[in-house]
A and B are shown apart, each in its own frame.
Chain A
Amino acid sequence: MKSRSLETAIVGWALVLPTLAVLGFFVFLPAGQSLYLSFQEVDPLARRHTFIGFSNYRNLLFSPDYWTSVWVTAKFAFVTVVAGVGLALALAVALDANPYARGLMRTVFLLPVSISSAMAAMLWIFLYNPTAGYLNFLLDLVGGQGPNWLGSSKWALTSVAITTIWKEMGFSIIFLLAGLAGVPNELKEAALVDGAGPVRRFWHVTLPILSPTLFFVTVVSVIHSFESFGQIHILTGGGPFGKTTTLVYNLYIDAFVNFRTGYASAQAVLLFLLMMAATAVQFRIANKRVHYG
């Protein structure tokens, strides 16, 4: 019996080993190294390390550029999450109400989810062209003067956000549709008998039951917005004047363009903490407000 359990242990660990080895070498080890490097001054070729304590963190927190990217990230997250989830909710409710159109329409809304952020950016980049693009032509038709979308300090972040919402919305729709399918008809009937109109029924019956899904979709959208990179790299390159430089984009530039390894590692550590904090805060709020039926 003893030798049998030893054999099980050996086989068990042997089966888990490939996964553990890969994750150990490419996730745990580098995560630790990032933390270590964040306390180091590293020369651009990464040959010499010098311990400098919290200097990288101090420099970051006193850097106006870093705070600009914090602000850009916050605005970007706010716009993509509020507008994206709001639109997704409206569309999911409409799709849910129309079973005949659902199949085809769903495909249309989901398609962008399967393509990459880089491809999404390429689909939109010429639309945004201020002189030859179709967007400004349409605005011209209705009498508006279109902005220089990607080149404008005022509109660049909005442009990136529009493309991001276009690409990500389908993701939220999938989950909201599943959530809506879980609203029991009997409850709606009961509310109807009580004389509640469609708006009140949505507000008092559908929304409470949907709230865990809505909450989940919001959390994931926030995390996605923090991690946005491909579309920014292609559409604006972080410009103009850092107006679309998010935290992740700033990290990329410091790490792989400016080769400030220690400084960029400190940003990686802070980014990780920020994402953890955002998730934790949302869970706290949700525990108070969300109705888990």
Chain B
Amino acid sequence: MSLAAEARKARGIATAVLLLPALVQFFPLFYLVCVSFKVGPEVIQYPPKLLPSSLSLENYRLALESAPLLRFLWNSLVVAVGITVCQVVTSILAAYALSRMEFRGKKVALGLIVATMLVPGEVTIIPNYFAMAALDWLNTYRALIAPYSASGFGVFLLYQFFRAIPKELEEAAIVDGASRMRFLFQFMVPLSAPAIMAFAIYAFVNAWNQYLWPLVVTQSTSMQTVQIGLGMFRSQNESTSWGVIMAATTLLVIPSVALFVATQKQFVRGITMAGLKG
């Protein structure tokens, strides 16, 4: 049997093997939406029916009434956009200097920046919390954004991309009278756009998904992000209705799913690049 013939056979087996795991993998999302439509005692009836008896939006109405879900979404959006913009800008500037300019202490600066990738957030969280308390920044966007407004990974990644752009291009542009900054933003950034985009999406998703830090620095409901707000909502409403909790979860998970579907390619690219840093 040739490799091609075997590949055909393998294809058939692979499909069969993949079907069940794919179903299992997708099931929690499907189940979530089903439960979110179940009203009243239907949620806890036994034996449970998978599909809801009606597509009632009652749970969604109750969820929106009893918790500031839109406020959570807004907070997450402000924080994630803030962090992403800051990280992209600071990383572009630093990566340009490190990849294109010769100056004393450059190696040390690069080394220090790269070293921060090895420090897990749990190691810094206690002093950072006290710093926020001392600045009176608890329960503010500043506390959520500032500690993440630069990224060792971002600098390292863009540093490598910028280095790959031929030096002659820059020399030519500068001879033509373009300033360094003009060259950076008119040539380097557009040329590295795919990498910057992938990094931006990676940074955004990470910021959106953060849990421990927002949990620690936001006590007031009005400042909580999606992740923290939903957890609180769950523990407050557990006794009342799972249907409402699942409706709230559905509403809050939609942006993540939508973003993933829309940017899957860049998202995967971002993850791959982040992985290759090690």
B interface: dominant SS: helix
Q: With contacts A26-B124, A220-B278 known, is A125 near B234, CB below 8 A?
A: yes
Does chain A have a CB within 8 A of B163? no
In the docked arrangement, what's the CA distance between A95 and B10, Å?
Answer: 10
Does chain B have a CB within 8 A of A27? yes
- A-B interface, 7 closest residue pairs, ranked by CB to CB distance from nearest: A116-B209, A30-B127, A22-B150, A230-B211, A15-B97, A33-B127, A30-B124
Nearest neighbor of B11 in chain A, beta-carbon distance: A98
* Residue in A95, A101, A119, A269 whose beta carbon sits within 8 Å of that of B227 in the complex: A119
Nearest neighbor of B23 in chain A, beta-carbon distance: A108
Does chain A have a CB within 8 A of B172? no
Q: Convert B221-232 into 0s and 1s, putting 1 for each residue whose CB lies closer than 8 angstroms to a CB of A.
A: 000000110110
Residues in A whose Cβ lies below 8 Å from that of B256: 114-116, 119
A interface: dominant SS: helix
In the docked arrangement, what's the CA distance between A88 and B89, Å?
Answer: 36
In the docked arrangement, what's the CA distance between A34 and B129, Å?
Answer: 11
Does chain B have a CB within 8 A of A143? no
Using A97-B7, A112-B25 as known contacts, list a sample of 6 further A-B pairs with CB atoms less than 8 Å apart, ordered by residue number in A.
Answer: A12-B97, A100-B11, A122-B234, A125-B234, A126-B32, A216-B275
> Is A101 within 8 A of B18, CB to CB?
yes
Does chain B have a CB within 8 A of A72? no
> Is A95 within 8 A of B113, CB to CB?
no
Q: With contacts A123-B29, A124-B28, A272-B120 known, is A265 near B227, CB below 8 A?
A: no
Q: Give the interface size bracket for B toward A.
A: 35 or more
Does chain A have a CB within 8 A of B177? no
> Is A114 within 8 A of B205, CB to CB?
yes
> Is A227 within 8 A of B234, CB to CB?
no
In the docked arrangement, what's the CA distance between A26 and B112, Å?
Answer: 13
* Residue in B10, B89, B151 whose beta carbon sits within 8 Å of that of A97 in the complex: B10
Which A residues between 10 and 63 are near B, CB-CB below 8 angstroms?
11-13, 15-16, 18-23, 25-31, 33-34, 37, 46
Does chain B have a CB within 8 A of A258? no
> Is B212 within 8 A of A166, CB to CB?
no
Task: Output the least CB separation between B90 and chain A (Å).
Answer: 4
Does chain A have a CB within 8 A of B94? yes
Q: With contacts A12-B97, A118-B211 known, is A94 near B18, CB below 8 A?
A: yes
* Residue in A18, A122, A123, A268 whose beta carbon sits within 8 Å of that of B90 in the complex: A18
Q: Chain B CB within 10 Å — which of A27, A91, A131, A233 has the most?
A: A27
In the docked arrangement, what's the CA distance between A268 and B126, Å?
Answer: 9
Residues in B whose Cβ lies below 8 Å from that of A207: none
In the docked arrangement, what's the CA distance between A59 and B245, Å?
Answer: 41
Nearest neighbor of B104 in chain A, beta-carbon distance: A9
> Is B124 within 8 A of A27, CB to CB?
yes
Residues in A whose Cβ lies below 8 Å from that of B3: 185, 188-189, 192
Does chain B have a CB within 8 A of A73? no
Does chain B have a CB within 8 A of A155? no
In the docked arrangement, what's the CA distance between A18 and B152, Å?
Answer: 12
Q: Give the interface size bracket for A toward B.
A: 35 or more
In the docked arrangement, what's the CA distance between A227 and B271, Å?
Answer: 17
Nearest neighbor of A178 in chain B, beta-carbon distance: B272
* Residue in B46, B112, B260 whose beta carbon sits within 8 Å of that of A23 in the complex: B112
Q: With contacts A18-B94, A269-B123 known, is A115 near B211, CB below 8 A?
A: no
Q: Convert A233-269 into 0s and 1s, putting 1 for each residue whose CB lies closer than 8 angstroms to a CB of B.
A: 1100000000000001001100110000100110011
* Residue in B7, B104, B127, B253 whose beta carbon sits within 8 Å of that of A34 in the complex: B127
> Is A31 within 8 A of B230, CB to CB?
no
Does chain B have a CB within 8 A of A127? yes
Nearest neighbor of A107 in chain B, beta-carbon distance: B264
Residues in B whose Cβ lies below 8 Å from that of A83: none
* Residue in B17, B22, B31 whose beta carbon sits within 8 Å of that of A127 in the complex: B31
> Is B155 within 8 A of A19, CB to CB?
yes
> Is B14 within 8 A of A94, CB to CB?
yes
Q: With contacts A15-B97, A23-B152 known, is A31 near B119, CB below 8 A?
A: yes
Does chain B have a CB within 8 A of A80? no
Q: With contacts A12-B97, A105-B18 known, is A174 near B272, CB below 8 A?
A: yes
Q: List 27 A-B residue pairs with CB atoms under 8 Å apart, sorted by A's residue number.
A: A5-B103, A8-B103, A15-B93, A23-B116, A33-B126, A101-B18, A105-B22, A107-B264, A109-B21, A110-B260, A118-B230, A118-B231, A119-B209, A123-B28, A126-B242, A126-B245, A131-B44, A134-B48, A134-B50, A175-B272, A188-B3, A192-B2, A192-B6, A227-B122, A229-B211, A233-B211, A268-B122
* Residue in B18, B94, B129, B260 whose beta carbon sits within 8 Å of that of A111 in the complex: B260
Residues in A whose Cβ lies below 8 Å from that of B122: 227, 248, 251, 268, 271-272
> Is A115 within 8 A of B253, CB to CB?
yes
